[in-house]
Amino acid sequence: MEYENATFVDTTDVAQLTAAIRPNTKLIWIETPSNPMLRITDLKAVATLARSQKILTLCDNTLCTAVLQKPLRHGIDMVMYSTTKYIAGHSDIVGGALLADAANPILEEARLLQQRGGGGGIPSPFDCWLTLRGIATLPLRIRAQSASAMQIAQFLVMHPSVETVLYPGLTSHPNYELAAMQMKMFSGLISFLVRGSNDDAMRVAAQTQIFTRATSLGGTHSLIEHRASTEGEGTKTPQNLLRLSIGLENVSDLIVDLTRALNPSKA
């Protein structure tokens, strides 16, 4: 898919990425793990390719934060975060951050744009304080969420009402070895395909009692979302896919909740 100034390509395939580079390409923007399919891009391979072509790289690292994955150490030039998610961690602010370990033209352009008021709203002092509050507990939170997500992913793999589980911490994930090399743990986001149709997936989401039906992620409360509905017309997300953001509730309670939702007649 191409737009006037951008080409969309599967960055997990370095050959496709190489073929997509144009003479005017200035930036390769990746997200790994990707949302919501949780595909894994090889950070070092992308960085090596980009530097050979004198192209800058940027990684959206929101799903991992620097606690679980450090793209700069793999040669990526810039890292972007939605601080709304894991970093602030309490679902009560909206913010973002762009970081680099060295100056570059795109970073400086973004800085000037923000200073001139063209980059969106400026966070209030209170929002900044809330974000700093979240950072204080970030390492403990995201490790606990990752540990619970692993248990839930393993539960879902064995459930007869689940067609496929997408979680990079599972050895069945096609990029598990790469994920294990790049990530310390595997984050608190899980996607899974309900066996059946769009209606079956919607029914499962509606049956949960601990999980809240909402579209964000990274907070202390667990969320469930029918992602295709959120993305709307033109989505490429499977209609039977549900996305889970695992919070800090007792993992056994979350598994009971999913068991009830997947087997409503046995609840």
| CA 171 and chain centroid, separation | 19
Please spell the DSSP secondary structure of 137-205, one letter per residue: HHHHHHHHHHHHHHHHHHHHHT-TTEEEEE-TTSTTSTTHHHHHHH-SS--SEEEEEESS-HHHHHHHH
Indicate the helix (H) or strand (E) that contains 78.
strand 78-81
Domain 138-266, CATH? 3.90.1150.10
At residue 105, the 3 state secondary structure works out as helix
pLDDT of residue 112: 86
Domain boundaries along the sequence of the chain: 14-115, 138-266
Same CATH topology for 14-115 and 138-266: the answer is no
pLDDT in tens, the chain (267 residues): 556 789 999 999 999 999 999 999 999 999 999 999 999 999 999 999 999 999 999 999 999 999 999 999 999 999 999 999 999 999 999 999 999 999 999 999 888 888 776 666 788 999 999 999 999 999 999 999 999 999 999 999 999 999 999 999 999 999 999 999 999 999 999 999 999 999 999 999 999 999 999 999 999 999 999 999 999 888 999 999 999 999 999 999 999 999 999 997 654
The pTM (predicted TM-score) of the whole model is 0.94
Report yes or no: 246 and 200 within 8 Å, Cβ to Cβ. Answer: no
What is the rounded CA–CA span in Å between residue 215 and residue 230? 7
Residue with tokens 């507990």: 137
Identity at 47, one-letter amino acid code? A
What is the rounded CA–CA span in Å between residue 264 and residue 251? 20
Rounded to 10°, the helix 251-262/125-157 angle is 60
Residue with tokens 């602010």: 93
What is the rounded CA–CA span in Å between residue 204 and residue 192? 11
pLDDT of residue 3: 61
- Residue 198 token pair: 């769009």
- List Cβ neighbours of 195 (8 Å cut-off, separation of 6 or more): 160, 161, 162, 163, 240
pLDDT of residue 76: 98
Record: fold of 14-115? Aspartate Aminotransferase; domain 2 (3.40.640)
